[in-house]
Amino acid sequence: MKISKGALQDVIIIEPRVFEDSRGLFFESFNSETWKLQGLPYEFVQDNQSYSSKGVLRGLHFQQGAHAQGKLVRVISGRVLDIAVDMRPESPTFGKWEFYDLDAKTNKMVYIPTGFAHGFLALEDSIFSYKCTAGYNKESEGGIIWNDPKLNIAWPIEEPNVSEKDLILPTFDSYFE
């Protein structure tokens, strides 16, 4: 397993060791003991999976307070452009964002800690999976509009397929006024 840091403070990129032969491939996507020994987050309480058609943009979502979630994200099939936005005012990367190109060929994973908004754009029809460090709590959910002018995210699509719920999310600045 190869572990590297993203450009945003505390984001971790994990590239598993993939064993491939004429039959297909195998890799260990998670092992709590291995992750603990590597100093990686290893206590997850909920797994989620979604399917998105090409052009679907989900996010930018987060959970607040006691229900804040760290997420270990990966693609099971297809390809997505994953994004994390640092919402921690005390962080040196506060207000910054970073894309991660995730696909089912490389099996690269990203750990996005609590205090970040998260989303993704399906570049192909995709099955997306994420492990969470806390369970979902409706009263604690929050989000930022995908095309927030202050964040100025360089999405590689002009008109993504976005849910009605995500189209009315507030701006980044509205959380810090």
Catalytic residues: 61, 130
Query: Are the CB atoms for 91 and 84 separated by under 8 Å?
Result: no
Long-range contacts of 17-25 (CB under 8 A, 24+ apart): 18/106, 18/107
- Continuous segment of H or E residues that includes residue 165: helix 164-167
Strands 116-122 vs 97-103: parallel, antiparallel or unpaired: unpaired
Among 54, 175, 77, 72, CA closest to 123: 54
Question: How crowded is the C-beta side of 150, counted as CA atoms within 13 Å?
Answer: 14
